[in-house]
Structure 1
């Protein structure tokens, strides 16, 4: 199933014997450890499933759990779906689920949305129910249980030194062969609790380069290709065998600034850099108008965005004034900007930023490479600036997860190394606030603060460009990119 004919018509398609090839843009880098982003890749393959499903409209639906209830201020109970078995034939009971979640809690580097800072413990209530205790009241726990990080694997998966994902999932597809860093071969799970999957087989190909994904979609070597370069749209739209669409995503591209060391420990310098960047020009040139200029971390039409939020207008005179107020000569500033290459547009984006800041007199040195090679230094605070595409609902399905991970002093993904006691208190309050309107107001105030202090330079709000071959049916681009290969997916 890893051959070059994956995109060709298979005998028996339309009768339940179809095959698709999916171009996955993010290969596993941590041996499938569920506390990492590998869990998202595993969920997109149709293998890994969590207790709760995040629906396309932002609501929560049933998955491996059918009901959930906050039975105490610091305790939630989840009723498990009955009759589910892991792909190795063992039952998915409360003991297995509690064991899987406890294993996640005990990881050395915890998941951003489900960790021992938030969760006190997990226990089986009886054979079909579990109780999750939290350190403090947490009205958003069901959202935590919808993330791929909290996907459930069979007890056998945890027996070795690294996770074994073959035969230990509950999803519609089972991994039968893995070629590391190249591909996965999948077969339908005939005993899937959701009914027999429409496809017989599937292949996941790891294709980091967006241009290569677009080319293989054109040639029919892959059937589904997400996160395509905007520059590929015109050519793809001219191909009758390909269907291309754009979907607004809860995701923003930003130039992350290291707030923990000079020059970006000074908010005046950060604000000067922000005023020197032309997000309108970036939107029009790099993204051909598909992405819109950022108004802050959140798209302006969302209910938790600040009212009247607008992009920062470029003003070099104001940028120079701010640097003068900070006592900084722009000619003395030399910044290294990191740009990872799995986002094909980041190379051009870095060059535009280099030119725009050059007009201010600031030197920018661009360094390109794999995301995995940059992350340790960025997490450690050993960098100046870093281009990042970041989803603000991906960790929790609610902005509080993103805000807690990225902008609290001890946040697990605080790449900006920003620390403010008032911000920490506001985010902590939001996590306990049952009134949704009040919670959204807090998010809006926090977004306004992040933008006004130029904690990072928010560049564009993103839309996903996704392409499929014309024969693909029942594929829907999930707004959080949690799911791709589903039981309903088929080919004509």
Structure 2
């Protein structure tokens, strides 16, 4: 009997020891400050928290940063910009040759397949680009290929593209997220907005609207399968909740760190924070199709009423102050534009408001429900009210906001542009050239002098000449008070310190392709 009892005790002890030592914990161990330790990492599931859901997952039909965070991992472009040298390098392309000012011959990498098993080839490039530039598609970034005249398949791995005129920003355009190559077979069989198919390092698994998008590693990826086996974009509407989840180890990554939370994030021991000066620009714009916004004194009064220096101080180092529409990290920038805008002068603004009766009619200020947009809206509303304007804020969810702004259903609003290409032409042309009113030109801005300068900046391949022309176009906008630049962004990201290999681009984009657990 004693032997049986003793044996039972031994078995119980062994079971307890096995339970303590075997298997993985459901959550990361906690430090004394409540942070996840960050000492161990699993490559099975890596979760990124976003305050907004994707709009869709077709690079042809989307044009927003949240959707691009998915499409950049599922699809690839012919070229990409090196984030260190800022030079454009082949991605799906193997090489290129400029036959003459208007003729580009692009050789493609061989042996690459789309996620559906069909071949990536010259026909796929032609199909994608023809659809992107077809007016019937109504692609929001059709302007990327506006200069293209003809696309010809030379052979399986060679495509010839002829432009209508010399196009100085062509490589920049072909490196854009919206110029990514799609599977023609998949595009004809299904809705790529809901079921994307590309050649990238991750493959689409599922999308639960309002909740999450799930990707899995492309084990046959031509450049080597990623270490992360599953990537999840988790919709967490409240950024403070997302930060708590990062601290607890429930998620591993967030970007666009909010200024009001930066000190809290910097105090967390289980994460690494990365910051770098970036290409994004955030600005207040007028709906230029509305009569009151066509009044130069109205725009001047608004510009004079906004104290942008006071606003930038609230960003806790995450913004750069400049009047220039073309930012310091963008090709075409000249520092002489930094202080070329209408200076803050609330008394001058009050005088213009009183003189013209601008305070008699309420102004609708449209904003997205993102933290930095809401902060801008609240501060600017207070400043414009001080000058005598009557301003009503209308806040919307991200996708609805984009559609509403594109439709011109606002008086003034805040917009941003990450400038994926880092080229001034690809900032000014899609956002402000009259060709794009009703699509990417949400400001409805139309100025013949400005239009001509932007066209000139695109129709020469002399880069020094392009830079000078872009500076002139930039200053036309500034002098016109076409927009009021609030700040240029510092791109940021916070990642669980148990992981490394994040690539953060000055344009705010990032890739998880080379992320691995330490």
Q: What TM-score, normalized by structure 1, do the two folds share?
A: 0.89
Aligned equivalent of 2:273: 244
Counterpart in 2 of 1:419? Answer: 446
Tell me how many residue pairs correspond in the alignment.
477
1:32 shift after superposition = 3.0
CA 1:433–1:33: 2 relative to 1, 3 Å: closer
- Contact 1:296–1:450 (Cα < 8 Å) also in 2: no
Alpha-carbon spacing, 1:161–1:56, altered in 2? closer, same or farther (3 Å): same
Which has the larger helix fraction?
A: 2
Are 2:61 and 1:32 aligned?
A: no
Match of 2:93 in 1: 65
**Could you say which residue in structure 2 is the equivalent of 1:149?**
178
Q: Distance in 2 between matches of 1:370 and 1:121?
A: 39
Q: How far did residue 63 of structure 1 move?
A: 0.6
Equivalent of 1:317 in 343, 347, 350 = 347
Q: How has the CA–CA distance of structure 1 residues 48 and 209 changed in structure 2, closer, same or farther, with 3 Å as cutoff?
A: farther
- In the superposition, relative to structure 1, how do residues 72 and 5 fare at CA in structure 2: closer, same or farther (>3 Å)? farther
Query: Structure 2: which 5+ residue stretches go unaligned?
Result: 1-24, 30-35
Kindly indicate whether residue 158 of structure 2 is the aligned counterpart of residue 132 of structure 1. Answer: no
Q: Is 1:352 the counterpart of 2:366 in the alignment? A: no
Q: Check conservation: 2:105, 2:161, Cα contact below 8 A.
A: yes
Check conservation: 2:202, 2:218, Cα contact below 8 A.
Answer: yes
Could you tell me how far 1:195 is from its partner in structure 2? 1.6
C-alpha distance in 2, partners of 1:159/1:272?
51
**Is residue 91 of structure 1 aligned with residue 101 of structure 2?**
no
1:185 is matched with which residue: 214, 226, 231?
Answer: 214
- Cα deviations by residue, 1:55-79 (Å, 9 ceiling, x for unpaired): 2142111210021222233321111
Shift, 1:244, TM fit:
1.7
Gaps of 5+ in 1: none
Q: Using the alignment, how far apart are the partners of 1:408 and 1:206 within structure 2?
A: 34
Deviations along 1:441-485, whole A, 9 cap, x unmatched?
Answer: 111112212112111111111112311011111112122234422
Cα offset for 1:115? Answer: 5.8
- Per-residue Cα deviation, 1:340-375 (whole angstroms, up to 9, x for no partner): 11x213223212111111111111111111132233
Task: Report what 2:486 is aligned to.
Answer: 459
Q: Give the whole-Å Cα distance in 2 for the aligned partners of 1:267 and 1:20.
A: 50
> Compared with structure 1, are the counterparts of its residues 124 and 481 closer, same or farther at alpha carbon in structure 2 (3 Å cutoff)?
farther
Alpha carbons 1:339, 1:387 under 8 Å: kept: yes
C-alpha distance in structure 2 between counterparts of 1:479 and 1:433, whole Å: 26
Q: Note if 1:231 corresponds to 2:260.
A: yes
How far has the Cα of 1:53 moved from its partner?
A: 0.9
Corresponding residue for residue 470 of structure 2: 443
Contact 1:19 1:200 in 2 (8 A): yes
- Rounded Cα–Cα distance in structure 1 between residues aligned with 2:68 and 2:193: 16
> 8 Å contact 1:114–1:150 — kept in the other structure?
no
Shift, 1:103, TM fit? 2.6
- What is the TM-score of this pair, normalised by structure 2? 0.85
Match of 2:311 in 1: 282
Report what 1:222 is aligned to: 251
| Corresponding position of 1:42 | 70
State the superposition RMSD in angstroms.
2.6
